[in-house]
Structure 1
């Protein structure tokens, strides 16, 4: 596999320069372009066909949410990682629902940025503890699992699949879910696959959004 092609999208040139400096130090990452707003990002995504786009969420002309939705709707073979200045941004769930494959805060460590790009380029979603657990813990409050009823929209899930979905919303990896539920990692992978298949979901991020929309995950009060 060749170098991962990355498009940088941010309305602040100095931010783009900083990201370019970090990424071009990695032999397997290649910055193929930069854009200063969402509309330009859509045009560049079509022209450059990057593997991954680092997309700022707040920009002029077209914000990152709308740009992501447009890129995903166009069927482009590009994954989007949303960037924001804030740990808790009210538009993050909108961006993930629009089709983004992950979320990062701009002031996070460079190693997390590099790892996230590699993870997303490999076809996985950045929904692992090492990248997004802080977002999930601060943004969402899980039910305690004691409710007698399952949200109607999730009734097609088995009890164990519902357990796995709850675990996904906490940002747990397959290995961590296996340990918590006392099953094999292969069994967890099977349950995740069934969840995605039953609801025609693209990846684990979309499964978390499903849980959010169904009421399994609800907004937290401000801390």
Structure 2
């Protein structure tokens, strides 16, 4: 499958360089580039890219605001963010806005290609230092997590619960379809209905709600869980 990509960056040299890099990858097709956040939204509506690769500094509206608005589109592309800032607020804002992958501007070409492929499959990838900080933060949280009430969860059908739990554990749409022996379109329909019932915009919010409501338990509470060692790869994917 060819991954259709839209590139957004304020610098022409960066856009041109990224396009040259990605055009050389057989399974990636760069459909367009822009330095304008509003134009990017129009291009998403008309060209329907699978993945948007963006900086946070754009004309007309910021990359962050663009990501938030894309989350409300019918054809929601997954977003890979490349940024020079990896401060805690930036990381929090980007992930809450709904981005799939967050990398630094010093990321390698291969890491960028890997992130685009991960985003196209509905998976997440973080720069190693960002992943390390998030893991450190998570390990510092209390072991006992109280479930937050969410009456809407009771409205989910058994199949919708099953799909939600599989997605929350990191499975892509295609993997869920194979596991349940159903079509990818059917999985997407289930996820759309779940998001509508629970009032969440995107996959990231859905996963967060699944954990907060106790619909799925963190790995530390699951049978057979072993605490990861310090040498394990910390990039999510």
Question: Fold conserved (TM > 0.5)?
Answer: yes
Q: 2:24 aligns to what SS in structure 1?
A: coil
Aligned length: 176
Question: Structure 1 residues 56 and 75, CA, compared in 2 at 3 Å: closer, same or farther?
Answer: same
CA distance in 2, matches of 1:49, 1:98: 20
Gaps of 5+ in 2: 154-167, 172-178, 180-190, 213-217, 219-237
Asked whether the equivalents of residues 101 and 205 of structure 1 are also in contact (C-alpha less than 8 Å), the reply is no
CA distance in 2, matches of 1:37, 1:89: 25
Question: Structure 1 residues 97 and 153, CA, compared in 2 at 3 Å: closer, same or farther?
Answer: farther
Q: Which residue number in structure 2 is paired with residue 68 of structure 1?
A: 67
Question: Structure 1 residues 153 and 17, CA, compared in 2 at 3 Å: closer, same or farther?
Answer: farther
Partner residue of 1:135 out of 115, 123, 130: 130
Asked whether the equivalents of residues 8 and 58 of structure 2 are also in contact (C-alpha less than 8 Å), the reply is no
Asked whether the equivalents of residues 126 and 132 of structure 1 are also in contact (C-alpha less than 8 Å), the reply is no
Q: Which residue number in structure 1 is paired with residue 124 of structure 2?
A: 126
CA distance in 1, matches of 2:10, 2:60: 10
Provide Cα deviations, 1:156-211, integer angstroms capped at 9, x if missing partner.
9xxxxxxxxxxx9xxx978xxxxxxxxxxx9xxxxxx9xx9996764357535987
Q: Which residue number in structure 1 is paired with residue 12 of structure 2?
A: 13
- Using the size of structure 1 for normalisation, the TM-score is 0.64
Asked whether the equivalents of residues 5 and 53 of structure 2 are also in contact (C-alpha less than 8 Å), the reply is yes
CA distance in 2, matches of 1:89, 1:14: 28
CA distance in 2, matches of 1:200, 1:132: 29
1:94 maps to 2:125: no
Q: Which residue number in structure 2 is paired with residue 178 of structure 1?
A: none
CA distance in 2, matches of 1:117, 1:64: 17
- Aligned-residue offset at 1:104: 1.4
Question: Structure 1 residues 146 and 76, CA, compared in 2 at 3 Å: closer, same or farther?
Answer: closer
- Aligned-residue offset at 1:25: 0.9
Provide Cα deviations, 1:81-121, integer angstroms capped at 9, x if missing partner.
11201333623322222222221112111111001111111
CA distance in 1, matches of 2:210, 2:36: 29
Partner residue of 1:150 out of 146, 153, 160: 146
Question: Structure 1 residues 147 and 52, CA, compared in 2 at 3 Å: closer, same or farther?
Answer: closer
